[in-house]
Amino acid sequence: MVMMMETQRIPIVRLSGKLIVSIQTALSDTVVDRLQQDVAAACEKGDARGLVVDVSGVDVLDSYITRSLRDLAVMARLMGVETVVCGLRPAVAMTLVEMGMELPGVRTALNLDRALALLDSLQPEGLPHDLAGEGDEWEGEA
């Protein structure tokens, strides 16, 4: 039996100036924490113009993971990298809403294509980022 003891890492892909994180694995707290660090490191390099976190492969988002994703998005934004979370499954979105755990202040998009388009449509760098804008920037449901 193959034991996988080392911490799994979620890859961060660079695509035409954007960072793309596609979560395809069950999220343990350690994996989530690691992702936060890796995203911070990637943002620090300074050449990314946006970050997309695709959660279409995630079938359960509990309070801790949701909060971590929100923190990750806020952190990237503070570092000048706009973030869009995309691919939230309907059942996951419904569960979050019912729990009262939406993703305030985080942009969301239906899928990866829309997330990339949304990033492209955002204001170019140099303009101040609107950190107070909660809720009014949502693309859709969630």
Ligand X SMILES: Nc1ncnc2c1ncn2[C@@H]1O[C@H](COP(=O)(O)OP(=O)(O)OP(=O)(O)O)[C@@H](O)[C@H]1O
Under the binding rule (CB under 6 A), the answer on residue 33 touching ligand X is: no
Integer Cα distance of 86 and 116 in angstroms: 10
Segment contacting another protein (CB under 8 A): 1-9, 13-21, 78-86, 125-133? 1-9
Q: CB of 117: closest distance to another protein in angstroms? A: 27
CB-based burial label for 107 (10 Å; 0-12, 13-18, 19+)? buried
Integer Cα distance of 118 and 139 in angstroms: 9
Q: Which residues contact 94 (CB under 8 A, 6 or more apart)?
A: none
Q: CB of 32: closest distance to ligand X in angstroms? A: 12
Q: Which is nearer to another protein, 62 or 130 (CB)?
A: 62
Q: Which is nearer to ligand X, 70 or 107 (CB)?
A: 70
With CB under 5 to 8 Å by kind, the binding choice for 92 among ligand X, another protein, none is another protein
Out of 7, 8, 25, 63, which residue is the one contacting ligand X (CB under 6 A)?
A: 63
Q: What single letter denotes the amino acid at residue 112? A: L
Out of 17, 29, 111, 125, which residue is the one contacting another protein (CB under 8 A)?
A: 29
Integer Cα distance of 139 and 102 in angstroms: 14
Under the binding rule (CB under 6 A), the answer on residue 41 touching ligand X is: no
Q: CB of 69: closest distance to another protein in angstroms? A: 13
Out of 9, 60, 64, 134, which residue is the one contacting ligand X (CB under 6 A)?
A: 64
Whether the CB-CB separation of 39 and 19 falls below 8 Å is answered with: yes
Q: Which two tokens stand for residue 95?
A: 């569960």
